[in-house]
Amino acid sequence: MRQYEPNAVSGTLSGVVFYDNGSGVSRMIGLSKPDGTFILDLTSINGNGPVGTVTGTRKADGSMTSDFVSANGDCKYSLTVVQADTTVRGGGG
């Protein structure tokens, strides 16, 4: 897994977004910036996939906040992801 660090180069982000009930699938494509911010556009590719824009920020500790706004503005969601502590602790014997 690649660790994100602020001040890294900008990059292209892409992927697939879908509803858990299978009613639609969307393509997601956008850009990340060196300051950790990103913006993604969602376009439906099958069924009633979500359509809109996701904006957010990823911090050096791996935590992330993002907001989704649908294309017509009637649907808004916010998401916060906290980076889990995966540090291995303990001693040998």
Write the pLDDT tens digit of every residue in 9-32.
678 888 888 888 889 999 999 998
Write the pLDDT tens digit of every residue in 42-67.
999 999 988 999 999 988 777 888 89
Strand, helix or coil for residue 86: coil
Amino acid found at 67:
D
How far is 46 from 25, CA to CA, in rounded Å? 5
Of 61, 68, 65, 53, give the one whose Cα is nearest residue 83.
61
Q: What is the pTM of this model?
A: 0.70
What are the residue ranges spanned by the domains of the chain?
Answer: 11-80
